[in-house]
Amino acid sequence: MAFARENIRGSIPALITPMKDGKVDEAAFRKLVNWQIEQGSHGLVPCGTTGESPTLSHEEHMRVVELCVEEARGRVPVIAGAGSNSTDEAISLTKHAKKVGADAVLSVTGYYNKPSQEGQYRHFMAIADAVDIPILLYNIPGRAIVEITVETMARLAKHRNIVGVKDATANLMRPSRERNAIGNDWRLISGEDGTALGYMAHGGHGCISVTANIAPRLCSDFQNACMQGAFEQALKIQDRLMPVHDAMFCEPSPAPVKYAASLLGICSDEVRLPLVSATDEAKAKVKAALTGAGIL
């Protein structure tokens, strides 16, 4: 049976990649995947930015996607990070994700090489033509410098494999503009915890979340409330989690969330250069936020 785009919804953690002595900690990752599902997460994203995909080797990247699919066992959708600023490399990672059983992929725009809108259009169309798998575009101008305009998305959405967007612009005009340009089938997924409540109120379908790594139940409850239109209840959870959302980005991610995970006994706080572990000041902020939210 074909994967239904409606299954991309709710609280979807952008999974950290646990590390130990410089290597991927596979046992910790397997445990993390199972815990996420038990805690009510609606989907999983391995090998996104939060998963340190830029510093994973290709072999590690593919292995982490495989592990995620293996452990999820079809209980929730796995949306594998498969983006690159090299189109050939993105196609290769997307083919691998399809081969090992991922349900969809997350594909980022051309960071560093700054393609034009036409260049981005051709990049994503080449991936969509090469691999028959649902693709979420990843619009993150803060990291990629370039953004995917509404007009370019509307062109891309005509391809049956391009099903929606992870929107990390924090621009709450985008969901309404995209829906008007593309239609109600377009999957609108926030990529920004702090504005996820507003995004959902604007017709969003879910959030690919950093905070969900360490507060999966609260993030799942928040998304369930939003999806039911219970925005008063969602607001209470949002207010409780806002200091946590802020703390997760007090230093370059995923250092703060990995430190938070270490406090919860999930994995070590190890990250790979050029990222460094959270400073003492950041650790104090993370600890205070987790304690205030009742997570610690």
**If you average pLDDT over every residue of the chain, what do you get?**
97
The verdict on whether 98 is a catalytic residue reads no
**pLDDT level of residue 110 (50, 70, 90 thresholds):** confident
**Is residue 53 predicted with pLDDT exceeding 80?**
yes
Domain that holds residue 40: 7-239
Dihedral, 167, 172, 173, 176 alpha carbons, nearest 10: 70
**Is residue 243 predicted with pLDDT exceeding 90?**
yes
Instruction: Give domain status of residue 253, yes or no.
Output: no
The verdict on whether 199 is a catalytic residue reads no
Q: Which residue among the candidates 111, 121, 138, 259 is catalytic per the annotation?
A: 138
Relative orientation angle of helices 255-263 and 280-292, to the nearest 10 degrees:
60
Structure confidence at residue 1 (pLDDT): 55
Instruction: Give domain status of residue 286, yes or no.
Output: no
Instruction: Give domain status of residue 98, yes or no.
Output: yes
Instruction: Give domain status of residue 211, yes or no.
Output: yes
Is the pTM higher than 0.95? The answer reads yes
Task: Give the CATH number of the domain where residue 160 resides.
Answer: 3.20.20.70
Taking residues 258-280, report their average pLDDT: 98
Structure confidence at residue 83 (pLDDT): 96
Instruction: Give domain status of residue 148, yes or no.
Output: yes
Instruction: Give domain status of residue 59, yes or no.
Output: yes
- What percent of the chain has pLDDT above 70? 99
**Is residue 3 predicted with pLDDT exceeding 90?**
no
Structure confidence at residue 109 (pLDDT): 87
Q: Which residue among the candidates 98, 111, 121, 166 is catalytic per the annotation?
A: 166
Structure confidence at residue 164 (pLDDT): 98
Instruction: Give domain status of residue 250, yes or no.
Output: no
Instruction: Give domain status of residue 88, yes or no.
Output: yes
Number of domains in the chain: 1
